[in-house]
Structure 1
Amino acid sequence: MQLHDVWFVLIAVLWIGYFFLEGFDFGVGILTKLLARDEPERRVLINTIGPVWDGNEVWLLTAGGATFAAFPAWYATLFSGFYLALLAILVCLIVRVLAFEYRAKRSDPRWKRNWEHAIFWTSLLPAFLWGVAFANIVHGVKINEAGDYAGNFLDLLNPYALLGGLVTLSLFTFHGTVFVALKTLGDIRTRARTLARTTGLITAVLALAFLIWTQTSSGDGWSLAAMVIAVLALLAALALNEAGREGWAFICSGVTIVAAVAMLFLALFPDVMPSSLDPAWSLTVSNASSSHYTLKVMTWVAGIMTPLVLVYQSWTYWVFRKRIGVRNIPAH
């Protein structure tokens, strides 16, 4: 295996980590409208991710930076062709940060309510748009002979991509619901488990259709294996949620995300952005990568820094592992 293949795998791992962590993060943001009945319950939901949401976004920064350094042609075509979609995601993430930080700065109910609306929409829109973006990457877009994107924004809103957006939206919501059931106490925990049943069934229908479509159009034996794991893990998460085993249900919903995203990358390889105009114009791990020396230096840096980041983030989750409920929320 050559270094550009190794870095394709590493970038896939970074995106998998981001969707696993930010997936429940987005899901909790969506649940502030779907699950919480009043202001104290919304505070409970926000507090479940309060210590970790900003750390989860580090995975996105690392994935984007690694793509830029390891595959500059991929980065250039992706960010120029998907400019509007990625800009919308970036704006949502910026506003989301402001919403988390500013919501509690004033006691005015209207002030809090407006920032809570912002948390909901800036969680829902990226959860949908990430699915649209990655579905287009796997399905193929209009890339010309020069390696430039030759389509327009509307070309990205095709049926396959829209289905991919609905899958990530429903899957992240389900993942977040299971996380809330794992992290809360009392009535909100019970209602989260009930809602997880509904969101899980919707996710199962959408995901099965999307994964079969992906496997039929561009899959192989490895992607088929990942698809089977994703489907079985989702069914296991539903069964464990019904049994009240929230910890195992969360692990299985996470495995579903890991396997589903891995399937997309397995179906994509050795391309990084297939061309729908001519397969010969596709960007691949070989023609889109940086020099061998650049990849070698990056490998040493990643080998030293990645374990430190994993240890620190794992410690953060361990410290804030306890459940919380409305009784833990101080009255203003």
Structure 2
Amino acid sequence: MPALLWGVAFANMVQGVPLHADHEFTGTLLTLLNPYALLGGLATVLLFLLHGAVFLALKTTGDVQVRTAGLARGAGVAAIVAALALVAGIGAAGMGREGWAFLFTAVAVIAVTVTLFGSLYPDVLPSTTDPAYSLTTTNAASTPDTLKIMTWVAAVFTPVVLAYQAWTFWGFRRRIGRSDIPPAAGLPPRRQPATSGRP
């Protein structure tokens, strides 16, 4: 469910949602649960961002063409990195190299995320009512004092979180098997081989 909701959120961010002039959402829950959002749309974002930039470069001249060609190259690199990482992850998983598979799929997730938010910038949440009502990195930002406080908080706690994650990963580095899972976890019992002898 969380993965589905992440896809719904990202797809709605790409498609845009109805926002009023005061940047308040004016739709309903069903507005967010549209077919495009339910499909996720993350893979199509990579494809059509690249395709659209190439089309603009094909149909424009001068500075616009230079800018769209640069966008196409950037989107293409991100799409290639994501696609290759995903393919490499699937291949590594098929060959039993789970460590490499995890690394490659993580790179794919990061590449998709960077491409998504990079294509939206400077918007954070586009408005389908009027582009002028969109949330941007400027009008959605907190006050300067809040940003300063959060910067110091992040500077202090980010290393703590990273250290905790590293410690957790190291503590659980050993693989587990059926014998390590308690019966209370609800693991189905191992099937006993059928015997041909009579009682």
Is 1:293–2:145 an aligned residue pair? Answer: yes
Kept after mapping to 1: 8 A contact 2:49/2:75: no
* Structure index of larger Rg: 2
Q: TM-score, normalised by structure 2?
A: 0.74
* Aligned counterpart, 1:256: 108
* Aligned counterpart, 2:189: none
| Amino acid in structure 2 at the alignment position of 1:138 | V
Give the superposition deviation at 1:231: 0.9
* Residue of structure 2 aligned with 1:315, choices 157, 167, 176: 167
Q: TM-score, normalised by structure 1?
A: 0.46
Structure with higher helix content: 1
Residue by residue over 1:288-316, the C-alpha shift from the partner in whole angstroms, topping out at 9 and shown as x without a partner, is 11122221221122112111110111111
* Aligned counterpart, 1:129: 5
SS at match of 2:142: coil
SS at match of 1:225: helix
Residues paired across the two proteins, number: 167
* Structure 2: stretches of 5+ with no match in the other structure: 54-67, 185-199
Is 1:303–2:155 an aligned residue pair? Answer: yes
SS at match of 1:162: helix
Q: Which runs of 4+ in 1 moved over 4 A?
A: 214-219
Query: What RMSD, in angstroms, separates the aligned Cα atoms of the two structures?
Result: 2.3
Residue by residue over 1:19-64, the C-alpha shift from the partner in whole angstroms, topping out at 9 and shown as x without a partner, is xxxxxxxxxxxxxxxxxxxxxxxxxxxxxxxxxxxxxxxxxxxxxx
| Amino acid in structure 1 at the alignment position of 2:33 | L
Is 1:211–2:46 an aligned residue pair? Answer: yes
Is 1:265–2:117 an aligned residue pair? Answer: yes
Please give the residue correspondences for 1:180-195 in structure 2 after superposition, counting only pairs within 5 Å: none
| Amino acid in structure 1 at the alignment position of 2:8 | V
Residue by residue over 1:80-129, the C-alpha shift from the partner in whole angstroms, topping out at 9 and shown as x without a partner, is xxxxxxxxxxxxxxxxxxxxxxxxxxxxxxxxxxxxxxxxxxxxx22212
Residue by residue over 1:110-166, the C-alpha shift from the partner in whole angstroms, topping out at 9 and shown as x without a partner, is xxxxxxxxxxxxxxx22212211111012211112221112222222333312217x
Change (3 A) 1:164 1:217: farther
Give the superposition deviation at 1:273: 0.8
* Aligned counterpart, 2:28: 152
* Aligned counterpart, 1:283: 135
Give the superposition deviation at 1:331: 5.5
| Amino acid in structure 1 at the alignment position of 2:46 | L
* Structure 1: stretches of 5+ with no match in the other structure: 1-124, 168-206
Question: How far apart, CA to CA, are the structure 2 residues paired with 1:154 and 1:331?
Answer: 41
Residue by residue over 1:175-195, the C-alpha shift from the partner in whole angstroms, topping out at 9 and shown as x without a partner, is xxxxxxxxxxxxxxxxxxxxx
